[in-house]
Amino acid sequence: MENAILQLSYLIGSITFILGLKMLSHPDTARKGNLIAAAGMIIAIFATIFLYEYTGGEGQPVRLHNYGWIFGGLIIGTVVGSFAAKKVQMTAMPEMVSMFNGMGGACAMLISLVEYNKPEVKETGTMIVIALGMLIGTVSFAGSMIAWGKLAGKIKDRTIPGGQVINFIIFAGLITLVVLVVGGFLPEMHGLFYGILALAALYGILFVMPIGGADMPVVISLLNSFTGVAAAFGGFLYNNPVMLTGGILVGSAGTILTILMCKAMNRSLKNVLIGSFGGAKAGAAAGNKEQGNYKEISLNDTATLMAYAQKVMIIPGYGLAVAQAQHTCHELEKVLTDKGVEVVYGIHPVAGRMPGHMNVLLAEADVPYEKLMEMEDANDQMGTTDVVLILGANDVVNPAAKEDPTSPIYGMPILEVEKAKHVIVNKRSMKPGYAGIENELFFRPKTSMLFGDAKKVLQDLVSEMKQV
């Protein structure tokens, strides 16, 4: 009876994961979907704690008994996680995603370590799962920590001479070690198994280290899929449907998202991983290019131009997140709408520092989902747009992606803002964007620069707009 209840709990958990993921596809249901999936996880956790049985040393079924350690870990993790989630700013959300994702990889790595060191004889299939869980979980953990450091500005891009060859050698070494450990070809396997741990950590560090800023959203998504696959291996080890379902969902969703983002950037995954997109070379290229002449626009002229426009498109970027100006931006949108101006938002798939960063930012400010336009639809309407207001975006509107074959972002689809009648760019300064390259858009005839902190500028713009 108790085993039936345990299996039913796992089934409920698996179903809630699927429902929750489905509901995450739309902002109106995303919060509820997240809560439903969390409820399913809680049911599965407590069912495991109180109903799960395993075979003890004498062959007798034994239940979990070290409740002090279990609930101590649950309480500490819940408190730390809740505090971190409530305090994190939207600008730091990508770092938190990388950090939490890395913790998932570390859990998969520790599961493999624990299971490998158990004394009982393991079948070949079990050894394959343990070895691959160790490899993928460690790569995900090490890579995610490097991604966290880069997003937080604590680690700079580093291109190692011959890095691609070194990574290939390490990867070949990892495959060799896995084959030796699984096959049991040598009398002493422990050293080789820990060799997988060391090489996988080194590989995770080296393959993320040279990847430049513009590709970081893709890398975060890829590492997320790695963690999902590693968790699925844990589900195989423990014959746990919830771990298996959750791991498969995360792994498959992360892989699909990675492919879609690569397609949106017109780049292959191979180019992302070996191309050092927006890294040291990009910075060097930016440094060798002369700046042109740009023109500024006043707040009053901006307010007048937008108030008498028929259609305004707002392009949000990381600068908007840094200034925490999403609510003020929504206020500007409402003021313009009251004046009879049509307002929409053009969303580039890799704007910000993680997949969907701008969508989450604007959803937090209750911007209607219907006003968010994907890149292709936004470009189709750009020719009928009177004013484009760019708030802290840079690389995703850079014409070099279409016009300069020598640019490191060449070939990446962009928001074609130059098709609009007027382009206004809000930035703190003329510094290059996250990819580290100059933006020719700022020096084009249709473009005017509106310098200042996004939140302060938007607040002043709202005040000016109300007087027009």
pLDDT attached to residue 214: 62
Percent of the chain with pLDDT over 70: 91
Residue 152 pLDDT > 60: yes
How far is residue 283's CA from residue 280's CA, in Å, rounded to a whole number? 5
Residue 433 — very low, low, confident or very high, per pLDDT cuts 50/70/90? low
CA distances from 140 to 103, 112, 158, 239, 332 (A): 9, 14, 19, 23, 41
Q: Which residue has the higher pLDDT, 331 or 211?
A: 331
Specify the pairing of strand 447-451 against strand 372-374.
unpaired
pLDDT digits (tens, 9 = 90+) for 377-429: 999 999 999 999 999 888 889 998 888 888 877 778 889 999 999 999 998 88
- Alpha helix stretches (DSSP H) within 265-390: 269-274, 280-287, 299-307, 318-322, 326-338, 357-364, 375-381
Task: Assign 450 to helix, strand or coil.
Answer: strand
pLDDT attached to residue 288: 45
Residue 219 — very low, low, confident or very high, per pLDDT cuts 50/70/90? confident
Residue 92 pLDDT > 90: no
CA distances from 327 to 54, 63, 316, 367, 457 (A): 52, 51, 12, 9, 13
Which stretch of DSSP H or E encloses residue 311?
strand 311-316
Which stretch of DSSP H or E encloses residue 191?
helix 190-208
How far is residue 316's CA from residue 329's CA, in Å, rounded to a whole number? 9
DSSP-derived letter for residue 396 is G
pLDDT digits (tens, 9 = 90+) for 2-32: 789 999 999 999 999 999 999 987 777 888 9
CATH of domain 293-467: 3.40.50.1220
pLDDT attached to residue 287: 42
> 424 is written with which tokens?
């206004």
Across the range 369-381, mean pLDDT stands at: 91
When mean pLDDT is compared across 155-159, 180-184, 302-306, the lowest value belongs to 155-159
Say whether 301 is catalytic: no
pLDDT attached to residue 271: 65
Q: Which residue has the higher pLDDT, 405 or 35?
A: 35
Q: Which residues, including other chains, have CB under 8 Å from residue 130's CB and lie 6 or more apart? A: 112, 115, 116, 122, 233, 237
Q: Which residue has the higher pLDDT, 283 or 193?
A: 193
Q: Which residue has the higher pLDDT, 392 or 198?
A: 198
Contact between 330 and 367 under an 8 Å Cβ cutoff? The reply is: yes
Indicate which residue of 366, 386, 395, 453 is catalytic.
395
pLDDT digits (tens, 9 = 90+) for 232-283: 999 999 889 999 999 999 999 999 888 887 876 666 777 666 544 444 444 4
> What are phi and psi for residue 447, nearest 5 degrees?
-95, 135
When mean pLDDT is compared across 108-112, 334-338, 391-395, the lowest value belongs to 391-395
Residue-range domain boundaries for the chain: 92-277, 293-467
